Amino acid sequence: MITGSQCRAARALVEISRPMLSRRSGVDVRVIERFENTAGRPEMYELEEIRNALEELGAVFIPENGSGYGVRLKFSEVDAAQIARLECEGGIVANDRVP
């Protein structure tokens, strides 16, 4: 799933406050605050709702891969088109565009 640090970083990247995330996810703002401050762990369904809300806003969560975990923004439509042009080597290009 995601960590409190990733949640905090994702909120900063997509420029959303805790109260706004609470409204979008349906998770109580106090639960989000405790999670981000490592003072508590939300229920699994709450974590899923938080993650879904942040992903809808453009956050991409990077799982632990031996070098750590993280979060970044999805590429804009313009950035994704430029990358697709530069990749001209064939193969599958992942859908990484902001909706």
Q: Is residue 81 part of a domain?
A: no
For residues 62 and 81, give the distance between their C-alpha atoms in angstroms, rounded to a whole number: 22
**SS3 of residue 41 by DSSP:** coil
For residues 54 and 41, give the distance between their C-alpha atoms in angstroms, rounded to a whole number: 17
Q: Is residue 94 part of a domain?
A: no
pLDDT value of residue 88: 61
Name residue, tokens 């974590």: 47
Domain that includes residue 37, residue range: 4-74
Q: Is residue 14 part of a domain?
A: yes
Q: Is residue 96 part of a domain?
A: no
Q: Is residue 38 part of a domain?
A: yes
Q: Cβ distance 36 to 8 under 8 Å?
A: yes
Q: Is residue 9 part of a domain?
A: yes
Q: Is 70 exposed, middle or buried (0-12, 13-18, 19+ CB in 10 A)?
A: middle
pLDDT, one tens digit per residue, over 74-91 is 877 776 666 666 666 555
pTM over cut 0.85: no
Domain harbouring 69, CATH code: 1.10.260.40
Q: Is residue 51 part of a domain?
A: yes
How many domains is the chain partitioned into structurally?
Answer: 1
pLDDT, one tens digit per residue, over 29-81 is 999 999 999 888 999 999 999 999 999 999 999 888 777 888 988 877 776 66
